[in-house]
Structure 1
Amino acid sequence: MPIPPKPSGNLAGLLARHAYLAIALIALWVAAAGTSQLPLNGHEVYVAETAREMQERGDWLIPHFNGQLRLNKPPLNYWLTGAMAWLAGQQPIEDWHARAVSVLAATGLAVLTLALGRRLYSDRRVSLLGALLLVSSLGFFSYSHDARPEMLYALCCMAGYTALAEARHRQQRNQNSAAAAYAMWLAFALATLAKGPHVPAMLLAGSVGFLHWRERQSWRAIGRLLRPLTGILLAAAIAAPWWWWLRRHIGADTLSHSQLGGALLKLDWRQILNPYHFIRILQLLLPWSLLLPLALGLAWRQRLLSRESLWLLTLIAVSAVILGFGSQRRWFYMLPLLPALCLPLAEALVKLADDAGRRRWLANAVTGLWLLVAATSVFLFFRPGCCDEGNWPALLAALAVAVAWLAALIVRLRRPENGWSGLAGSSLALAAMLALLGDSPALWGPERFDVRQALTAVAPHLDADTQIVSLGDSPMACIFYLQRQVTRVDSLEELSETLARARRPTLVIVDNGRVAELPAAWRQERLAAMPDGTEEPKTFLLLQPPRPTDSP
């Protein structure tokens, strides 16, 4: 068997010699960039505010949001958010505490991708490139900047199938695989506490099917590998007590009708050919997924893909098919499988880069990809609100990186000897662009910045007893950033009754288009208003209680 060539080039060689440290630092750089300046969106507020209310109540077992039970997600993400606040000096929970969990989980995900690649592939360039593709992908960047439990869940699930790969490796060498198998069950138990057992179950189903039908292993051998009886008992001992405690305190009927009780687990067998989740994982891998069809197609045709890559692709296919039967459509459901797609793509790209006949094709494809990246960078300058208030320097720096690397690739087209270094350099250049735009409205849109700006203007006008009422839907960010409950009313009559009961000035949040519906007789002070061009523009009014003669 020929010895795989070592990464060449100064930068590529440096990365290879210090791979784990380099990947950890690059991943942390991309994941953490701008997270302390980027305001929370509505979905992230659920995590940060639930953890804050648990902290205020001194009850870390029963989640509450806006004073009501929140029975949507298990508690691991809330616990870790509270732990971040405690490590920071027992502070009240802030937005960055919730984001820090995802930042650290994303860093761990990148390091595990490198570890899994080294376990599966003899060519270390594959593992290093796979990790670089991950940290420079849209999915990694987006969800490392998101306080929701998606990145934590991805880390736990991937730790599970990385441990399974280690157990399989040890079994093939007649070594004791028990510790690795139990590490897998431990990771899947933590995944269950982070979000649920559904993806771990799919990973196990895909792995068992691959081992039995593709590798022709007997059921007994698979049982010795997975240790299902003792493993399930271990996972249950870790994950089940919290569900038992919750059921005891809120009642079995309340739990069974909630998302935690499986209310959303409804199967629709008519969706068997639904390609939704296959498409979504390609979106998570952007822009590298643009190389995926041709790279994997050529590698498959020339039988360049290893058995290890086929296992990872099987996990993706099985999970996407099973998820397609569900009633929910969310593109982050495939996030735990993103590393499993990065590694086969990396293997295909590395082997094509070593093929003299395909090397020029690969260089042209990567150059074309960067033409698209540079054009997209120019387009970001024209997004409304994205170049205001000093945002343009970061955009200009990101564009400079894109243009400089594109120029380097064009020069390299004359002599594309080392396709590996071009791929690694492209990943690093894109990672640098993402880090530069970590808190830029160009990538996130100006809406969430408008909300925080409005709330900053509103906060000085409120005292400890000021009631907050929302006419229509409640902006979630208000609950967290103003640190108080928001009462929702659906009509002017309900609003009038609420104001009358308050007998003191009340902060009312109303859509910009409905401000004119408020009775002119109501005494109001406009504290702030979001621009009309935002997705859900709100006006913040301080309303006096209506007099008996006032009516809507």
Structure 2
Amino acid sequence: MKPCAPLSRARPLWLRSARQELILFGVFALLLLGMGIGLRDPWPSDEPRFALVARWMVEHGQWLFPHRGHELYPDKPPVFMWLQALAYLVTGNWRIAFLLPSLAAALGALALVYDLARRLWNHRSALLAAATLVLTIHFTYQMRNAQIDPLLLGWITLANYGLLRHLLLGPSWRWFAAGCFFAGVGVVTKGVGVLALLMLVPFVMARRGHWHQVALPQGRWRWASGLLFFLLPILGWLLPMLLSAHADGDPQHAEYVQNILFGQTVHRYATPTGHIHSPFYFLGIIVVDWLPLSLLLPWVLPAWWRRLKRHDARFLLPLGWIALVLLFFSFSPGKRDVYILPALPMAAVALAPLLPGLLRRRGVRIALFALTMLLAGTLTVVAALVLHRHPAWASRIEQSLDPQIWWLLLSIGVAGLIVAALTRVRRAPLGWLLFAGALWSLYGLWGYPMLNGDRSARDVMMRARAIAGPDATIGLLAWKEQNLLMAQGPVTEFGFLKPWPQQYADAIAWQRQAPAQRWIFSLDEAMGRCVDRHRATYVGHANRREWWLFKADAVVAGCAPGGSADETADDAP
């Protein structure tokens, strides 16, 4: 393998120099992925949970055992929450801090895809590969969220980069060690980080089959050292946690260790309780969520096959790894779209050398133009219909969304139609780039502030505090993470995982101790018939739920809410 040309001598794509193109692309990617940071709070389903855990770490100094309120949170390792907490210590602003790990992972993945593709092929192919990745809907949407999967994508891409620097561009044992190490970091972020090491499977196939472009590293002990580097970050988290749990003898910590090591890994993969889908679920995700990248597949699949028949290991390793990842997750009954998100960067790498030729094909340009027109036209027609006729189905949607959402969708749609009219088929790739820029910019700058009050529960928690007064203590009943995260002033809670009847009993007993100064903030369903709603105060609607505040005089004596019916002392046999 010949060394890649320095960036200063690389052939530019459309500007005067490759360096200028790279700087311009970096600015575009930063704006596309970061537009709107600081304009919203964490949104369900997962963001408030992780931000709440991170805030507890900062406020209580409990870094080894994550907490959701006063209860332990055993569903995920703490790495993502550590980074959110660190971002807060640096910025001092949770609205900014909770999104920074995902943004850093996204920009890092783009840089790694570009650099790897440039070393394997050239600057032009690499820049188009990175642009294809950042313009893929699934990538952009997920990497703008504060969830664990974007960070996992970053670690797995970094691990894949290190391994491929060794396996295709090596030998480079330092990069091999780095690849194994970051695969381990992926494990302590989310257990499936170990999947990065599946890259060794197609490498063994290529080496035994004498494929072209594959490196031939020697040294059995050096290969074995990869296990040590893989285990380093895992043991760096695991040993202190185990020693601490053993030393304090807390049964909750022992249960946490059991859950995090087994319940959230083997059990969740083999016998999941939700998100059950068919073995072909991910094929639909690739076709729809991976647009516009998936539009290229009719042309790309034959081209990949031809290169595999030529025994080019530069295609076998990333494509073989993607196939193994798809098989791994397809075998489990439980499936979510984000599970295969880490496969996107390697798909972009495998696409890289084909993109300059593909984007010159009229069929590809027609497909991209049609996609832009279809999405922009649909948004325009639907939003205009709602604003003009206001059908019944729109009213149902507006129960959980700001009615101004239709003006946002109309603006995005009209912007897309204007872009399509200006770029036409001839410049359809540029048209999609501009449409994506308009979509995510408007969504971040306009959509975030518009939707934030309801989606984050900030508005309903501010109203609750205004009703209760500044000095009263509010107890949370049947609460969601966003309620505790956005709570204003003195607040307490009665557990998150406890059944609602038990929470209700604890809340009522707590309120009786100081009825004049204690309010209960409750989900409508959790009150059942045990709270007189004529004496309670309706707080508002948030996250598709109704919320109430009540004092002790609204409680129905002798009533215990449970299931679909409420039991009172008079009803008991």
Among candidates 286, 293, 297, match of residue 297 of structure 2: 293
Aligned to 2:232, the other structure's residue is in SS state helix
1:54 paired to 2:57:
yes
2:485 aligns with 480
- Quote the RMSD (CA, aligned, Å): 3.9
Deviation, structure 1 residue 389: 7.1
Q: Sort the Cα spacing of 1:84 and 1:352 in 2 relative to 1 into closer, same or farther, 3 A.
A: closer
1:29 aligns with 2:38: no
Aligned to 1:324: 330
Task: Report which stretch shifted further, 299-308 or 200-209.
Answer: 299-308
Deviations 1:36-71 (A, max 9, x none): 223322311221111111112212222111212222
Distance 1:431-1:353 versus aligned 2 partners, 3 A rule: same
1:204 paired to 2:199: yes
Partner residue, 1:453: 459
- The equivalent residue for 1:275 is 280
Specify whether residues 511 and 69 from structure 1 end up closer, same or farther in structure 2 by C-alpha distance, changes over 3 A only.
Answer: closer
Measured against aligned partners, the alpha-carbon deviations of 1:357-379 in whole angstroms (never above 9, x if no partner) come to xx222222222121112124325
The structural deviation recorded for 1:514 is 6.7
1:139-538 maps to which residues of 2 (within 5 A)? 139-171=138-170, 177-201=172-196, 203-212=198-207, 215-216=210-211, 221=216, 224=219, 227-251=222-246, 254-255=255-256, 257-261=258-262, 263-266=264-267, 274-289=279-294, 291-300=295-304, 307-354=313-360, 359-378=361-380, 381=383, 382=386, 384-385=397-398, 388=402, 394-410=408-424, 413=425, 416=426, 422-424=428-430, 426-438=432-444, 441=447, 448-449=454-455, 451-460=457-466, 461=468, 466-470=473-477, 473-482=478-487, 484-487=491-494, 490=499, 495=504, 498-503=507-512, 504=515, 506-512=518-524, 517-520=529-532, 523-526=535-538, 528-530=539-541, 536-538=544-546
1:67-107 deviation per Cα after TM superposition (whole angstroms, max 9, x unaligned) = 1222222222122112111112xx4x624311111112111
CA 1:439–1:15: 2 relative to 1, 3 Å: farther
* Uncovered stretches (5+) of structure 2, i.e. residues with no partner: 247-252, 387-393, 560-567, 569-573
Alignment map for 1:38-117 (pairs within 5 Å)? 38-42=40-44, 43-88=46-91, 91=92, 94-117=94-117
Q: How does the TM-score come out when normalised to structure 2?
A: 0.78
Deviations 1:215-251 (A, max 9, x none): 459x994664994321221232232131112122335
Residue identity in the other structure for 1:537: R
Partner-residue secondary structure (3-state), 1:530: strand
What does the per-residue CA deviation read over 1:402-430, in whole Å, with 9 as the maximum and x for residues that have no partner?
Answer: 112211343xx4xx4xxxx6425533431
Q: State whether residues 177 and 225 of structure 1, in contact with CA within 8 Å, keep that contact through their aligned partners in structure 2.
A: no
- In structure 1, how many angstroms separate the alpha carbons of the residues matched to 2:371 and 2:258? 48
C-alpha distance in 2 between matches for 1:444 and 1:330: 28
| 1:338, distance to aligned residue in structure 2 (A) | 0.9
Distance 2:423 2:130 in 1: 21
Structure 1 residue 498 displacement after superposition: 2.9
Residues 316-342 of structure 1, C-alpha deviations (whole Å, 9 max, x = no match): 111110122235312111111111122
Seen in structure 2, the aligned counterparts of structure 1 residues 263 and 521 have a Cα distance that, compared at 3 Å, is closer
CA distance in 1, matches of 2:259, 2:281: 25
Alpha carbons 1:512, 1:529 under 8 Å: kept: no
**TM-score of the two chains, using structure 1 as the length reference:** 0.81
Map of 1:544 onto structure 2: 552
Give CA deviations for 1:170-222 in whole Å, capped at 9, x if unaligned.
43xxxx512211221222222223222544355334443443455459x9946
Partner residue of 2:563?
none
Number of residue pairs aligned between Structure 1 and Structure 2: 519
1:156, 1:187 within 8 Å by CA — same for their partners in 2? yes
CA distance in 1, matches of 2:556, 2:454: 38
Q: Is the 8 A contact 1:312 1:341 kept in 2?
A: yes
CA contact (8 A) 2:85 2:97 kept: yes
1:15 and 1:402 map into 2 onto residues whose CA distance is: 30
Q: How far apart, in 1, do the equivalents of 2:224 and 2:178 lie?
A: 14
User: C-alpha offsets along residues 498-532 of structure 1, whole Å, 9 cap, x if unaligned?
Assistant: 31332235444444467672443884233x2107x
